[in-house]
Amino acid sequence: MRNLYLSNRFFYLFGLLAVLFALGYVVPTMYLVSMAMFCTAVAFVIADVLLLFGKKVRVTAERRLPKLLSLSDENKVVLQIANHSPRPLRLTVVDELPVQFQLRDFEQKIGLHAGEEHSLAYELRPLTRGEYGFGVANIFAETIIGLVQRRFQAAEPMEVPVYPSVIQMKHYELLAFNRTSSQEGLRKIRRIGHSYEFDQIKNYVLGDDYRSINWKATSRQSKLMVNMYEDERSQQVYCIIDKSRSMKMPFNGLSLLDYAINTSLAISNIILKKYDRAGLITFSDKIGSTIKADRKANQLNKILHALYNEKERSLEANYELLYHIARKLITGRSLILLYTNFESMYALERVLPMLRRINAFHLLVVVFFENTEIQDFVKEETKTIEAIYTQTMAQNYLAEKSAIAHVLRQHGIQTILTRPEDLSMNTINKYLELKSRGMI
């Protein structure tokens, strides 16, 4: 019986019997009591084994997973467990989770009556992309006696990929296109002026822009008529991701590169839903993925798979190379969302000439990150001179971050300085703002 295990209750019981046997050498009557209890315990163990290892005792489980897991989101895993035995069982479920989670103490306890089924659900939050391998589900069953356990192995081993956050993508799509939504700070930007994409002529209603009145149509209909315009379509929007060592910094277990990847997928989806063309470029010391801006049916899928395969590199980013590939690949004026990170003014000054040259041909938005851990440190109470000195240095660092954003704006470059967790929201808001202002 290789699947037979002794429970804690077994060891407690026989530990007590060992104490009684020891006392029996001192008090002869205790020896007889301990012998009687020992025989009773052995009888219970034999009965427990017979009840647990009967032919009709069977426990099954099926693991239900989505086809892919979303990076940095809580992904639901369900184990459908069934007790096919003629008696109730207490079950301890130990699912073999992927090694990436480093969980060695994961277990759940449930009780099932004869013939009962139960859905055991738990959530996992992956923090790296790639293949995650699940092993079998080990189910340790015991009867009401509870002296021994029988192990059942169920739920076949399986692998599931972790992709950039599809859950986040769908969430922001819902917010962006739900006119009544005001959640998560996603703003409905008031349209400033209008584009040249004519839509239709309609009756004037209170609140319409009187500058859009069509006087010819008004004279024909003998009532006020106004021109309606829609957002210009098929505009090119590129997400460019710096995957050099400056993007390796982790926040809440997720690297800056992964934050940028999640946001690129979310905003690419919204770009395509707005009938614009979405493209992707990744770079470090060399160019990585390049997807020309388009709005074909499989464009989002191409971007998703390209983002899935991206990895950080340990070298500095080559902005001259980025400028040349942008000139070669990106034809026509486009909106470029550049995800990068600057930790000092010196780092900005080295690449500022290239950013200005890119901005001369396109509408460039530089997206970089606040250091939330330093912000939290600055808010802490200081009690020593050393802590005051360290906190002052931290404040100077934060002030330099703000100065970097100011310098970029002085040179006419649109800038987003954001907390990593607010990256998607702020980037989508900037895209909607620029589109409403007719700047792209």
User: Nearest Cα to 161, choosing from 133, 135, 131?
Assistant: 131
Mean pLDDT, the chain, rounded, equals 87
Provide the pLDDT for residue 202: 85
Q: Averaged over 221-245, what is the pLDDT?
A: 84
pLDDT digits (tens, 9 = 90+) for 10-21: 787 778 777 777
Q: Averaged over 63-86, what is the pLDDT?
A: 93
Provide CB contacts within 8 A for 115, sequence distance 6+.
83, 84
CA distances from 153 to 98, 157, 413 (A): 17, 10, 59
Residue 189's pLDDT band (boundaries 50, 70, 90)?
low
Distance CA 195, CA 437 (A): 9
b (16+ CB within 10 A) / e for 24-43: beeeeebbeebeeebeebee
The three-class DSSP label of residue 66 is coil
Distance CA 39, CA 44 (A): 9
Please check whether residue 142 is in contact with residue 149, taking contact to mean a CB–CB distance below 8 angstroms.
yes
Distance CA 287, CA 281 (A): 8
Provide the pLDDT for residue 206: 80
| Higher per-residue confidence, 173 vs 268 | 268
Give the CA-trace dihedral at 211, 217, 222, 226, to 10 degrees: -30
Provide the pLDDT for residue 132: 95
The C-alpha angle with vertex 327 and arms to 325 and 330, in degrees rounded to 5, equals: 90
Provide the pLDDT for residue 187: 58
Where in the chain are the domains? 1-163, 166-190+232-436, 197-230
What does the chain come to in residues? 440
Q: For the structural domain made of 166-190+232-436, what CATH number should be given? A: 3.40.50.410
Q: Averaged over 406-414, what is the pLDDT?
A: 95
Q: Which helix (H) or strand (E) holds 8?
A: helix 8-24
Q: Averaged over 285-294, what is the pLDDT?
A: 94
pLDDT digits (tens, 9 = 90+) for 353-373: 999 999 999 999 999 999 888
* pTM to 2 decimal places: 0.81
Residue 92 has pLDDT above 90, yes or no: yes
| Long-range residue pairs from 202-209, CB within 8 A, at least 24 positions apart, any chain | 202/226, 202/228
Least confident of 55-69, 128-142, 169-183, 422-436: 169-183
Please report how many Cα atoms fall inside a 13 Å half-sphere around the Cα of residue 232, on the Cβ side.
15
The three-class DSSP label of residue 254 is strand
pLDDT digits (tens, 9 = 90+) for 334-355: 999 999 999 899 999 999 999 9
Provide the pLDDT for residue 185: 59
Residue 192's pLDDT band (boundaries 50, 70, 90)?
very low
Provide the pLDDT for residue 182: 47
Distance CA 20, CA 152 (A): 35
Please check whether residue 440 is in contact with residue 335, taking contact to mean a CB–CB distance below 8 angstroms.
yes
Q: Could you check whether 1-163 and 166-190+232-436 share the same CATH topology?
A: no
CATH class of domain segment(s) 1-163: mainly beta
Distance CA 425, CA 440 (A): 19
Residue 320 has pLDDT above 80, yes or no: yes
The three-class DSSP label of residue 325 is helix
Q: Which helix (H) or strand (E) holds 158?
A: strand 158-163
